[in-house]
Structures are given as C-alpha cells and as structure tokens.
Amino acid sequence: MINRTMSHGVVVILAMSTMLATTLAAAAEAKSPDKKAIAEVAAGTRTEAHASWWGFDPIDSTASLQAAINSGARKLLVDNMGAPWVVNKLQLAGNQEIVFAKGVVVQAKRGEFHGRGDSLFYASLKKNITLTGYGATLKMWKQDYDDRKQYRHAEWRHVLDLYSCAQVRISGLTLADSGGDGVYLGVARKGVPCSDVVIRDVKCVNNYRQGISVISARNLLIENCLLKDTWGTAPMAGIDFEPNRPSDQLTNCVMRNCLSENNRGGGYVLYLRALRAESKPISVRIENCRSVGCRSSAAFSTGNDNQTAAVKGTMDFVHCTFERSRQAAITIGDKPVNGARVSFVNCKIIDPAADRPASTPIMFSRGSHAVSAVGGVHFQDCTIEDPINRRPMSYHDGSGGAGLAAITGTLTVRRGDRSICYQLTPALIAQWMPHKSFKRRETLPKPAQ
C-alpha cells in the first residue's frame, strides 16, 4: 500500500515510472503463432521449442505460454521479448525443462489472482520438472493482495506452488512479490511428500508470508539461495519447515551456503507441532548458512502436550552464523528431552537483541500445556559475541512443571577483549536458568448425586 506520508516528488516519480512501464509494454510488439513450428513440436520432430512460437501479447500472454507448456516439448525456452510475459495462473507440466532467458520477467497479471490459493505457477503430482532462469524473474503484485479493498486476505498466492512433486530442479530464478511464498512444497496426496528437489542459486525477495515453505519433503537440497525482505503475514520467515499433519515428513533435508536476511520473522524456522512420535523421524541439516537482521536466527519448536508429541530424529546447524537478530538468536520451544536431537556445531552468534538488554542470545521456553522437561540440545564449540553483560541463556516456563535437562556442550562468550569458555554442566544450566517446579493438581471426579 502507498505510504500516505511520502512526498509529492516521490509520488510524481512513481507515477512517471508507472507511465514509462505502460509505454514500454505498449511499444513491445505482439507476435503471432508460428504454425509450422508448433506442428513440428506436436509431431515430435522438434523436442526443443521457443515459447514465442505460440505467440506473445504484451497485455496478456497466458494462453500462449500455457499452450507452450502443454505442447509436450521436452525443453522450452521462454524468450526475452523486451517486455514482461504478463500471465494469469499457469500449470506446469511433467517431464519438461523450462529455461527462462536472461532478462525475462514473467509478471502476474494485475487485477487477477482473486482466488485465495491462486499461484503464478502450480504443479501437483508431477515428475521431472526443471525451471532454470539465471537473470530471470517471476513476480507478482504483493502490494495489491495486501489491500483489503481489492482482495480477500490470504497467504497462499505463491510464485511456485508444488504439491507432491518429484525430481524437481529450480535454479537461478528470482521469485518476488508474492501474496504468499516464493516456493511452497506441499502435499497433494496424504503421505506423498515432494521428493528429490533441488533449489539452487535462487533469490526469494519481498514475499508476503515466507521465502520458502516446506510442508513435506524427502531428499531436499537448498543451496546458495537468498531469502530476503519477507513481510506481510506471519510467520514472515526466510524459510519455514512446518508440516501440517503427522503423515508429513522432513527426511534428508539439507540447506547449504544460504543467506536469510532482513526477514520480519525468523531466519530459519522449524515449527513441528503437527508431527508426533509415530511420524517419520526428521533429518534436517543446515550448514554454512547465515541469518542477518531477522527477528530470530534459528527457531525450533515441537509439541510437548502428551507422550506422543515428541517427534524423533536429528536437527543439525553446522558452521552457521547468526548476526544481529532483533530478539534471541536461537529459540527452542517445547522440545522434549526425548524428542529429536538438536545440535549446534561451530556456530556463531553476533550482536543478538541489541535493543533488548533484558533478552538473552539463546532462549528456551515451555508452553502451558507442556508435560515433559525441555532439552536434548547440544552446543559444540559455539561462540557468542555480545557486548551486553547478560546471561547467555534464559528459560521461560509457562507450565510450572518440570524444567530443563540434557543441555550440553561448550559455549564461548566474548565481550570486548574478554573471552570465557563454558562447559555446559547441569549445575551451570541451573545457575543460568533457575526454575521452580510446581506439583500439578489433579482434577477430582465430582461426587455422585
């Protein structure tokens, strides 16, 4: 939405920019279909095709681009036509590689996408999808979708919306300005995750809900990606691993060499309350990644309301750097001691919660319905660089029950020229995070009438 306090000059510049964009679009030439080339693709004599063979209209190229995708071409080049490919909702095909030429912009058609789940590109139960676009952008109209006068509020208008898809490769693209996520990996059929997915060299910028949402995935690699400037509706994370059902899974999920920056929510979030002890054990590894200027850097939470809530498995942060989080850099919520093992290895926290001296760099918490002690977290050779004189960790217990257990490892705190290495023993944890346990009062049955 337009900032009503912006200067008249800025408004004039924005108006001129809009007029210029409209003029350029009008100046771009429409292109008629190449019937001969289309026929050769249909006959199978051509396996590689140009999207422009199906035509191009600078006002609305939905039909042309969808026809090109539906053509059966094994490789489809989306040409740079000198103006954006303006489109409504598009459905991806399986067994196809789409290459977006450098400079290509695929732009959501303004005034469309009124369905709360309308996404720019959508695929369900498809296999072998490759989307490559170094220097290309897929973008929507986030500011419009956030305007309640124009659109019903929703958080599912994604750029790339994939459900139970397999053998997916996404490389080089910028995914921007969605009304939801840059990439959503969801479930079309119960128990069927997105599988064998690689997201590499992708930039998710200025999305409404998350840069990337992972609901259920097996064999996922996210590498060399930028997740930046997410804001609009919660959780507003760079990436959020958040299963919806106990049948969902996070198996062999790896992030490597990624940057999560300036997101209004967390940098790397795992919200696993839907998973249970009987769910597939998680195996998530985040290595050589950075979080800069997010609300929290790494957030991990599970259920702790009954004996079946503790999902098993492993969650490892390795060689990660967490810089300038606005609140605690690391937050661990409701994670039972006997749940998934969480470890931080050679990780560094720098200048956390600088404007919140009452906060701490690391925070553990328990909700009011938790029944088990929180813990099972290991810190190996981790460092906190914090100019504020405060404890490294704190504990917020909302249940008044059992406390903390099995928080282990080594932690070095650096403050100016002073450096102290701590061995995390039960005695030290009790000193840093004292708590009181209250006996739960049993509810007695009512007397018989």
Residue 257 — very low, low, confident or very high, per pLDDT cuts 50/70/90?
Answer: very high
**In the predicted structure, residue 183 carries a pLDDT above the cut 50:** yes
At residue 434, the pLDDT reads 87
At residue 99, the pLDDT reads 98
Dist. CA 72–CA 38, nearest whole Å: 11
CB-CB neighbours of 405 under 10 Å:
17
Dist. CA 238–CA 290, nearest whole Å: 11
Lowest mean pLDDT among 21-25, 39-43, 131-135, 171-175: 21-25
Task: From residue 97, give the alpha-carbon distance in Å to each of 48, 124, 130, 156, 199.
Answer: 9, 16, 4, 25, 14
* Residue in this structure with the two tokens 């003029």, named with its chain if needed: 23
**Number of continuous H segments (helices) and E segments (strands) in the chain:** 5, 35
Q: Confirm whether 309 is domain-assigned.
A: yes
Mean pLDDT of 199-226: 98
Q: Confirm whether 2 is domain-assigned.
A: no
CATH number of the domain within which 120 lies: 2.160.20.10
Instruction: Classify strands 374-385 and 404-415 as parallel, antiparallel or unpaired.
Output: parallel
Residue 442 — very low, low, confident or very high, per pLDDT cuts 50/70/90?
Answer: very low
Q: Which residues contact 18 (CB under 8 A, 6 or more apart)?
A: none
Q: Confirm whether 9 is domain-assigned.
A: no
Q: Confirm whether 22 is domain-assigned.
A: no
Q: Confirm whether 133 is domain-assigned.
A: yes
- Please report, rounded to a whole number, the percentage of residues in the chain having pLDDT higher than 90: 85
Compute and round to an integer the Cα radius of gyration of the chain.
Answer: 25
Instruction: Classify strands 48-50 and 282-287 as parallel, antiparallel or unpaired.
Output: unpaired
- The pTM for the full model equals 0.91
Q: Confirm whether 48 is domain-assigned.
A: no
- The DSSP secondary-structure symbol of 56 reads B
Residue 307 — very low, low, confident or very high, per pLDDT cuts 50/70/90?
Answer: low
**In the predicted structure, residue 366 carries a pLDDT above the cut 80:** yes
DSSP state string for 94-150: SSEEEEEPTT-EEEEPTT---STT--SEEEES-EEEEEE-TT-EEE--HHHHT-TTT
Domain, as residue range, for 248: 81-432
CB 207 within 8 A of CB 183: no
Task: Please give the tally of structural domains in the chain.
Answer: 1
Q: Which tens digits make up the pLDDT trace of 276-295?
A: 999 999 999 999 999 999 99
**In the predicted structure, residue 10 carries a pLDDT above the cut 50:** no
At residue 8, the pLDDT reads 43
Q: Confirm whether 327 is domain-assigned.
A: yes
Q: Confirm whether 147 is domain-assigned.
A: yes
**Residue-averaged pLDDT of the chain:** 91
CB-CB neighbours of 197 under 10 Å:
24
